[in-house]
Structure 1
Amino acid sequence: MEIYGREEDRAKWAMHYAQVKANISQPKRTHNVTVSGKNKQGKPYSYDYKYADLADIDKAVMDGIKKATDKEGNVTFSYFFDIQTTNTAVAVQTLLVDSSGFTVKTNKIVFQNGKAYDAQATASLISYAKRYSLSGAFGIAADDDNDVQDQKTIYEPRVLTKQELEDYKVYYNGTQANLYDLYQEAKDGIKDAQDWFNESHTPEDAQAVHQIAQLFKKKHSVKQEIKEKQDALDKIQKTVKKDPFEDKKVASKDDPEVDKLF
């Protein structure tokens, strides 16, 4: 959480925030979704839950803001979003602004984005993050309590085959790039590629990166082993004389053929 403004305005901000929150009515959960799949043990599951969407939550908050006014009927509180996007994630923070200018910025809500190249999917994810951020900022229960159900959806990304690794694509600098080639660029010192690997990644991308790193490590180990063997062989060859009897030869002036025998 970040705070901006004069310290003397903090109490005024807190009072206006409390007034807004007290006037917020919990939005109705009019939307329904069915979640199904398989858990880590491979057993199928399915459940329904209801939720309030971003428009419902925004309306509930704005209704509360309109009721918290000063003597002249002016609103004293408002909010807006700070949205950040990267190649792999979206992040949203809600800024709670008082009429005095005192502002509180909530902690980031971050969601991994495996389809950053898809504008519609990214926009939907941003709306999803906004809903969670705004709900948390004003203490709104926008979903059914399905924490227990959510545990069923946790999974570990599968191990990829060698061919899948060679063909694996990621979103890099606005385009899709081959992860294997990107890793090589990072190894070669390309800063943009190195920066990409330092970012957060989806579980699937992280699994692919891990496997490719292991492949490169194994490849380097094999090359190093071959080099060490070759260096050892070269060293041996340098120490071995071409003719082990070179220092035993005796010159014969009379018969060159005899010299060849020694």
Structure 2
Amino acid sequence: MKTSENISEIAKALGAFQSNVKQPEKDGANPHFKSKYVTLDGTVKAIHDCAPSHGLSYTQMPVSAENGVGVVTVIFHESGQFIEFDPFILPLEKKTAQGVGSATTYARRYSLSAAFGIVSDLDDDGNEASENTPSQKPQLATDKQLNLINKLVTDVAKAMSISKEESYKTLQKHMKKDMEWYTPSDASKAIEILNGALKQGA
């Protein structure tokens, strides 16, 4: 994270923003997991409706890594103070225009929500919903875990002489969810599965 030399004004403004912002409705739905979430449009609207009155604005810049894409989010205050957050990068499941677009949209939504304190987490129906109160919603896997999984998927593909896509599809069958929704425990399980596959292929 990078900041201006002084952040007293922007910190005060962010505190006021978070007290006054109207949290957006979860207007997106994932039918596969019977879950709802706040879309990027909903997140942006909530911020645009409240941020200007507190002297706040932001920008998001696309970034890329060897096997992923993401964004850097910077919040500005009318005083000239700023906070630049660390890059949020997601590994690419498919190196296609659609794959890049999907990963970038998710990265923008997640990074923007975290920066401004917008609640955009999944709201699962059924048993998972009853087990997770709003203050105890599952966190997503860390960048370090996702990068390791991406590397292991590639290593397994090479060891078994299959494509990376086939390697990932095999992992998906075990995990029953896309990598972008992994919790830390999901990621640990995926890493264990992939390491086991590597030993078999060795």
Using structure 2 for the length normalisation, give the TM-score.
Answer: 0.61
Determine what percentage of the aligned residue pairs are the same residue.
Answer: 25
The one-letter code of the counterpart of 2:58 is: Y
1:169 positional shift: 6.0
1:140 positional shift: 1.3
What root-mean-square deviation, in Å, do the aligned CA atoms of Structure 1 and Structure 2 show?
3.5
1:153-205 Cα shifts (integer Å, max 9, x gaps)? x999695596x51x5369xxxxxxxxxxxxxxxxxxxxxxxxxxxxxxxx89x
1:63-121 Cα shifts (integer Å, max 9, x gaps)? 111332xxxxxxx21011132113411132211111122111123322111222x0121
Q: For the residues of structure 2 that align with 1:111 and 1:27, how far apart are their CA atoms?
A: 24
Q: For the residues of structure 1 that align with 2:157 and 2:11, how far apart are their CA atoms?
A: 52
Aligned partner (choices 13, 37, 54) of residue 51 of structure 1? 37
Corresponding residue for 1:126?
Answer: 104
Q: How many residues align?
A: 151
Higher relative contact order (CA 8 A, sep 6+): 2
Using structure 1 for the length normalisation, give the TM-score.
Answer: 0.49
Aligned partner (choices 158, 163, 184) of residue 168 of structure 1? 163
Corresponding residue for 2:84?
Answer: 105
- In the alignment, structure 2 segments of 5+ residues that lack a partner are 130-137, 140-145, 166-189
Choose between structure 1 and 2: higher helix proportion.
2
Q: For the residues of structure 2 that align with 1:133 and 1:121, how far apart are their CA atoms?
A: 18
Q: For the residues of structure 2 that align with 1:160 and 1:86, how far apart are their CA atoms?
A: 20
The one-letter code of the counterpart of 2:45 is: K
Corresponding residue for 1:26?
Answer: 23
Q: For the residues of structure 2 that align with 1:85 and 1:113, how far apart are their CA atoms?
A: 10
**Conservation of the 8 A alpha-carbon contact between 1:23 and 1:63:** no
Q: For the residues of structure 2 that align with 1:101 and 1:161, how far apart are their CA atoms?
A: 50
The one-letter code of the counterpart of 2:5 is: R
